[in-house]
Amino acid sequence: MSWITSLAREAVQTGRAYRAPTTPSLARLHANELPWAPDYNPAPGGLNWYPLLYPDALTGRMAQHYGVRPEQVSVTRGSSEGIDCLYRAFCEANSDAALFCPPAFEMFRWYGRLQGARVIEVPLRAEHGFSLDVPAIKAAWSDDVKLLILCSPNNPTGNLMDPGSILELVEHARKRTVVVLDGAYAEFAGQNPGADWIARHPHVAVLRTVSKALGLAGVRCGAILACEEIIELMRRVQSPYSFSALCEHTVLEALKPENLARTQSRIARIIEERERVSARLAELPQVQTVYPSQTNFVLLKVASADGFTAAARNGGYLLRRIPDEPGLESCVRVTLGAPEQNDGLLAVLKATA
């Protein structure tokens, strides 16, 4: 290790930067994006000025969109930044802990380690549809757990968590732990988590993003929805002026009623594709299980995950090989693309069966 790296904090020395495959020549069916670019003009003027300290216009519009008050919204650079901010605000390095349930979005683990928090992992019950193991979560809970992170629908398993289990954990957390509900894929499940949770439970913070259903992964915008007290704490850890005017303008355009109506029909098409493509994938001899999905991707258990992703890649399609972990051996995640892309992928997989 070089002396420069040895100066870094231990979590940074021993961790590694987030990696994801990028091959521009391949169709992107690996990152849970929407396949269509927005068809409105995203270019504002006035970029010589700093934006406001925090994007007030967008905060107000997102509040309206998610059904909460502006004081209950913190706009973030993707919901990934929301996870980072919550860790930095609530977890004292080398003393506090967070708990989440793998398999899950890997940033739940990474931002915790980076902050120096102890990260407790209580696996989902793979043999029971990747559901929450409520008794095991309660048993693993200790006084230093400041964040409990739950994700519904979950990535990479695609399923919704049982609302009764979430409620039981939220009630168990009262007065000791902030519960983070990641709703990155909620729109594909016909859900709008936010207002109900935070009205009844001031210790719940809901994460939303425009990267998935709104088709704006390139903009880097998400939101934390929570009580005013948590939002005020978020402002203390966020950098001022960090949200660009270009991004604010683009998301405001996306949230105009006429553009939202088009987005709604695109979400409906993805849901139709989810049912159609899942049925076709299940017919392939190399596919052992197609897990039910409430998202814009499907998880598959296949005979050989490496062989499956290589065949897709050779045919021009990038898929996500899921690292082997208990219950998830030999699994691949397929993002639903446009119908013609999905047909192309199915044809490639059929030809190599």
Ligand X SMILES: Cc1ncc(COP(=O)(O)O)c(C=O)c1O
Q: Which residues bind to ligand X, rule: CB under 6 A? A: 32, 78-80, 105, 151, 155, 182, 184, 209, 211, 217, 222
Minimal distance, residue 289 CB to ligand X, in Å: 21
Asked whether the CA dihedral 138, 139, 140, 144 is positive or negative, the reply is positive
* Six-digit token string for 202: 């001031």
51 or 102: whose CB is closer to ligand X?
A: 102
- Could you give the CA distance from residue 25 to residue 211 in angstroms, rounded to a whole number? 22
Minimal distance, residue 293 CB to ligand X, in Å: 13
Minimal distance, residue 299 CB to ligand X, in Å: 12
Nearest-CA neighbor of 319 among 292, 287, 272, 271? 287
51 or 222: whose CB is closer to ligand X?
A: 222
Minimal distance, residue 260 CB to ligand X, in Å: 18
Compute φ and ψ for 8, nearest 5 degrees.
-75, 160
> Do residues 261 and 120 make contact, with C-beta atoms less than 8 angstroms apart?
no
**204-209 and 178-182 as β-strands: parallel, antiparallel, unpaired?**
parallel
Minimal distance, residue 79 CB to ligand X, in Å: 4
> Do residues 332 and 324 make contact, with C-beta atoms less than 8 angstroms apart?
no
68 or 85: whose CB is closer to ligand X?
A: 85
Radius of gyration of the chain (CA): 20
32 or 342: whose CB is closer to ligand X?
A: 32
155 or 341: whose CB is closer to ligand X?
A: 155
Q: Where are the beta strands (DSSP E) in the chain?
A: 27-28, 73-76, 97-100, 118-121, 145-151, 178-182, 204-209, 222-225, 287-290, 297-302, 317-318, 320-322, 331-335
Minimal distance, residue 78 CB to ligand X, in Å: 3
Q: What does each C-alpha distance from 75 to 56, 57, 78, 85, 148 come to in angstroms?
A: 9, 11, 8, 11, 21
> Do residues 64 and 220 make contact, with C-beta atoms less than 8 angstroms apart?
no
Q: 3-class SS at 173?
A: helix
Cis peptide before 103 (omega within 30 of 0): yes
* Six-digit token string for 215: 């088709």
Minimal distance, residue 143 CB to ligand X, in Å: 27
Minimal distance, residue 82 CB to ligand X, in Å: 8
> Do residues 102 and 136 make contact, with C-beta atoms less than 8 angstroms apart?
no
DSSP letter at 167 equals: H
Closest residue to ligand X, judged by C-beta, is: 78
98 or 349: whose CB is closer to ligand X?
A: 98
Compute φ and ψ for 28, nearest 5 degrees.
-85, 90
59 or 79: whose CB is closer to ligand X?
A: 79
Minimal distance, residue 32 CB to ligand X, in Å: 5
77 or 249: whose CB is closer to ligand X?
A: 77
Nearest-CA neighbor of 226 among 38, 59, 27, 92? 59
209 or 309: whose CB is closer to ligand X?
A: 209
